[in-house]
């Protein structure tokens, strides 16, 4: 068997073993075994053992650009700037629609759809669909809307009451902040009108027991003012405020007043600089911490006077109070970014980008863009991701490392130089990253995750490790040779 056939056989075994519970041990062993056998790469690793890896910055790889309230230290800054320079304020006045004798239908999921998508919402007295939930005001995104009604049952309970349609209650912090509060501007502007607010949610979710309902209490609602609808119900009158935010498009005038009202409902805490960490967070779906090496950045910000806080260990009121008083804020990209909505214009924010997907979503706007614009606070985005295994925006494992963009940022921000990481630290984190990735993305998620990333090869692993971890320039001829060998 020639060398090419042997390599092909090896990678078939690796892929087959990914479905085995001991997959990560096998993969880690084989990856590092192969790396040391590749002349140029093995040399890099062997030399790295002898001394610290001092990160240098090739000038042609730094992209810093300032636009609107953003400052970018990202690999694709030129591309990202095209998104960020767009005004995402949808300048359309918020309006209210009222339906007499209308019906509100609980959410029923489309077969095989995401858990918050399907049929339901408000329909008129004859069952014609009126309002549900939109993630974009103009584009119909299949599977991402509550965009139609289902047939009305014969017997529908009647409530002789005027209510306000609150929309979709997401039991997820990021989506709740950017979507579930979208219609609450009406309450802020009409607090003297004590209507009850009706929300729909999937049958498997229980907002009544979610800590997120505290945001509604901070706005001024009480428990009796909130209805989580579980059966189709006809009401005397249904008030339907427009959505003020669209997660994949932007915001409308008046959206920010909801967050200002929540922030102003509580005295600010006495924190000047805060770093909200994700390092202690475990998702309800997977008991796996999804960032690797975040403690490096925690320790760095701690030396700059930042308090390191795990927000999920605090109440909603405590989280808002901290942001209301903070002058500087830092976090890893994702839902933690949305806390800036409670900081206001005075806040200075730094977002550590955990993935190339964080600012891209098939051409659609992502919340990082429009939330930052809406707050008008200065936001700096810094690439710190070193992911060399397939990554998705929503569910993945992320490897964070202090690379060239981080070094450029701390030089400008703190007049700081010399970021050093030892090879033992790097290799230990790489092994941890691979282990987590195998456990979550393969063993728990299933082998279907590989179908969406069929273009990833072992050549990508070597190229990305060399780029993100060792910060070495690789000649184009070397890159091509790797692709010739590994595909």
DSSP string, 373-442: HHH---EEEEE-B---S---SSS--EEB---HHHHHHHHHHH-----EE-HHHHHHHHHHHHHHHIIIII
Share of the chain above pLDDT 90, in %: 44
Where exactly are the structural domains of the chain? 59-88+270-486, 96-252
Q: Which residue has the higher pLDDT, 4 or 196?
A: 196
Token pair 């427009």 is found at: 242
Among the residue ranges 37-46, 122-131, 268-277, the one predicted with the least confidence is 37-46
Mean pLDDT of 459-483: 77
Among the residue ranges 28-37, 46-55, 126-135, 251-260, the one predicted with the least confidence is 46-55
Name the pLDDT band for 316 (thresholds 50, 70, 90): very high
pTM across the whole model: 0.82
Q: Quick one: pLDDT at residue 51?
A: 37
Name, of 25-34, 293-302, 421-430, the range with top average pLDDT. 293-302
Q: Which residue has the higher pLDDT, 466 or 395?
A: 466
- pLDDT tens, position by position, 402-454: 888 898 999 999 998 766 677 677 778 888 888 888 877 766 555 455 554 43
pLDDT, averaged across the chain: 80
List own/partner pairs for 127-133 with CB under 8 A and 24 or more apart.
127/103, 127/151, 127/152, 130/97, 130/99, 130/102, 130/240, 131/97, 131/165, 131/240, 132/168, 133/167, 133/168, 133/179, 133/243
Mean pLDDT of 111-126: 81
**Structural contact between residues 43 and 350, judged by C-beta atoms closer than 8 angstroms:** no
Q: Quick one: pLDDT at residue 362?
A: 46
Name the pLDDT band for 7 (thresholds 50, 70, 90): very low
Name the pLDDT band for 314 (thresholds 50, 70, 90): very high
Q: Which residue has the higher pLDDT, 18 or 142?
A: 142
Mean pLDDT of 296-318: 96
Using the predicted structure, report yes or no on whether residue 193 has a pLDDT greater than 80: yes
Task: Give the 3-state secondary structure of residue 477.
Answer: helix
Q: Which of 333, 134, 318, 346 is nearest to 215 (CA)?
A: 318
Quick one: which H or E segment has residue 131?
strand 129-131
- pLDDT tens, position by position, 72-100: 898 776 666 666 778 889 999 999 999 99
Name the pLDDT band for 159 (thresholds 50, 70, 90): very high
Q: Quick one: pLDDT at residue 46?
A: 42
Mean pLDDT of 106-124: 81
Task: Give the 3-state secondary structure of residue 161.
Answer: strand
Task: Give the 3-state secondary structure of residue 277.
Answer: coil
* Sign of CA pseudo-dihedral 358, 364, 369, 374: negative
């Amino acid at each position: 068997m020639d060398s090419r056939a042997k390599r092909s056989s090896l990678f078939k075994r690796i892929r087959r073993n990914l479905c085995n519970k001991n997959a990560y041990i096998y993969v880690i062993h084989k990856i590092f075994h192969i790396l040391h056998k590749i002349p140029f790469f093995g040399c890099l690793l062997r030399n790295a053992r002898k001394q610290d890896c001092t990160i240098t910055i090739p000038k042609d790889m730094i992209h810093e650009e300032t636009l609107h309230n953003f400052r970018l230290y990202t690999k694709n800054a030129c591309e990202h700037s095209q998104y960020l320079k767009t005004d995402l304020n949808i300048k359309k006045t918020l309006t209210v629609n009222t339906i007499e004798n209308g019906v509100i239908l609980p959410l029923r999921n489309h077969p095989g759809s995401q858990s918050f998508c399907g049929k339901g919402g408000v329909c008129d007295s004859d069952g014609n669909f009126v309002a549900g939930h939109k993630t974009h005001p103009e584009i119909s995104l299949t599977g991402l809307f509550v965009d139609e009604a289902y047939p009305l049952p014969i017997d529908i309970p009647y409530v002789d009451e005027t209510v306000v349609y609150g929309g979709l209650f997401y039991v997820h912090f990021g989506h709740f902040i950017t979507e579930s509060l979208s219609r609450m501007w009406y309450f802020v502007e009409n607090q003297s009108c004590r209507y009850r607010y009706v929300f729909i949610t999937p049958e498997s979710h229980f907002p009544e027991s979610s800590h997120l309902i505290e945001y509604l209490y901070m706005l001024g609602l009480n428990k009796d003012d909130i209805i989580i609808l579980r059966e189709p119900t006809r009401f005397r009158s249904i008030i339907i405020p427009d959505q003020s935010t669209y997660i994949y498009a932007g915001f409308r005038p008046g959206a920010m007043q909801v967050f200002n009202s929540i922030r102003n409902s509580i005295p600010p805490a006495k924190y000047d600089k805060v770093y909200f960490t994700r390092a202690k967070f475990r998702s309800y779906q997977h008991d796996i911490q999804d960032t690797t090496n975040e403690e490096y950045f925690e320790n760095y910000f701690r030396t700059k006077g930042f308090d390191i806080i795990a927000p999920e260990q605090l109440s909603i009121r405590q989280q808002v109070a901290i942001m209301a008083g903070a002058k500087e804020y830092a976090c890893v990209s994702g839902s933690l970014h949305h806390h800036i909505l409670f900081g206001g214009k005075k806040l200075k924010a730094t977002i550590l980008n955990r993935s190339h997907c964080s600012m891209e979503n098939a051409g659609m706007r992502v919340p990082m863009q429009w939330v930052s614009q809406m707050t008008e606070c200065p936001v700096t985005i810094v690439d710190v991701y070193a992911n060399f295994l397939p990554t998705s925006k929503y569910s993945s494992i992320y490897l964070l490392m202090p690379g060239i963009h981080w070094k450029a940022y701390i030089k400008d921000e703190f007049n700081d130089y010399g970021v050093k990481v030892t090879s033992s630290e790097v290799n230990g984190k790489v092994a941890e990253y691979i282990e987590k990735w195998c456990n979550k993305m393969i063993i728990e998620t299933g082998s279907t995750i590989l179908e969406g990333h069929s273009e990833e090869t072992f050549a990508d692993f070597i190229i990305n490790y060399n780029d993100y971890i060792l910060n070495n320039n690789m000649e184009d001829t070397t890159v091509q040779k790797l692709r010739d060998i590994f595909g």
